Amino acid sequence: MAAVDTYGLGRVLGEKGVLPQRAKRIDPSLPLRPGELLIDVESLNIDAASFKQLKDAAGGDSAKIIEQIRAIVSERGKMQNPVTGSGGMLIGRVKQITPEHPAAGTLNVGDRLATLVSLTLTPLVIHEVRGIKPEIDRVDVTGQAILFASGIYARLPDDLPETLSLAALDVAGAPALVARWVKPGMRILMLGAGKSGALCLAQARQKLEGQGQLIAADISAKALSTLQGLGLCDQTITCDATQAVEVMDAVKAVTNGQLVDLVVNCASVPNTEMASILSVRDGGTVIFFSMATSFTTAALGAEGVGKDVTMIVGNGYVPGHADVTLGLLRGHPGLRRLFEERYV
């Protein structure tokens, strides 16, 4: 059997020993190499922080957003926003699978799947952009992508619409990791009322088992009202998460000055690290899922305010995360309806 390049190092151009995610450019050309899988791409779900940056840079003009995405993919051989460093994920259909790929014999040509590894490391060619949906960070394309032997994926389920599955699987790692950290009786702050925030709230609600306090914070009062109406949180805080002291004061007000045990940061804008750190009690934990998070700001910021806090960088992969996330949609009709109305 031919040697398998498990992590796609051979696809990196001009940077020896560098993994595809960190590489400036990767080679998306055919033919496939041993251990690779080829996907006919139908849609890209761009990471929220990345799409916001592209949208702002384009002044909201869809044609200019598309132009930026095309330019990035053409130059880099992958979709990795050079400003935010983030990518997203894709949905498509298996076109070819090499015998050396771990899924050979399990996946078949024609199977529909969503990749659960970032577009920042996925070799990608876009032939045509068929449409764009700025309100849900999605770009419909005709193209091809390559999945390495190490690349994780999820078959699209038969009982949920594809677009619904795509929206949820895009952030599947977040609620699955939250499930590890939430314990009954905790006070929890969810920073961000978007896709990952809603799913994380639903997961936290399950794990709290009716004990504790669940607070949602976002700049959109309408989004917060929707989440509270679905029973996904106990209190809401309408705030600008870049204003750290104001957020901390608001959290104190709804926790009788206690602050929270756990902050889950799902914000899609930069400079929200200190709001998270100041809102958690000494000895508490912050999970950063936002791709706009700065490690330097978080680490030095916590030191600068003398806060003893455990900080977790949210990993997009948690074993079983696809099943956990899709299970939340199946088990919570209101959450599913929200996703269908807002993200499909």
Give helix 195-208 / helix 173-181 axis angle, nearest 10°: 30
Q: Please tell me the total number of residues recorded for the chain in this structure.
A: 344
Rounded to an integer, what distance in angstroms lies between the CA atom of residue 335 and that of residue 199? 8
CATH classification (class only), 173-342:
alpha beta
Predicted TM-score of the model (pTM) = 0.82
Residue 1 pLDDT: 55
The residue written with tokens 């209190």 in the block is: 235
Rounded to an integer, what distance in angstroms lies between the CA atom of residue 246 and that of residue 237? 11
Residue 278 pLDDT: 98
Per-domain boundaries in the chain: 9-156, 173-342
| Cβ neighbours of residue 262 closer than 8 Å, sequence gap 6 or more | 181, 182, 186, 187, 188, 189, 280, 284, 285, 286, 287
At CA 198, angle to CA 64 and CA 294, rounded to 5?
60
Rounded to an integer, what distance in angstroms lies between the CA atom of residue 95 and that of residue 332? 34
How confident is the prediction along the chain (344 residues), in pLDDT tens digits per residue? 578 999 999 999 999 999 999 999 999 999 999 999 999 999 999 988 899 999 999 999 999 999 999 999 999 999 999 999 999 999 999 999 999 999 999 999 999 999 999 999 999 999 999 999 998 899 999 999 999 999 999 999 989 888 888 888 888 999 999 999 999 999 999 999 999 999 999 999 999 999 999 999 999 999 999 999 999 999 999 999 999 999 999 999 999 999 999 999 999 889 999 999 999 999 999 999 988 899 999 999 999 999 999 999 988 888 899 999 999 999 999 999 999 998 77
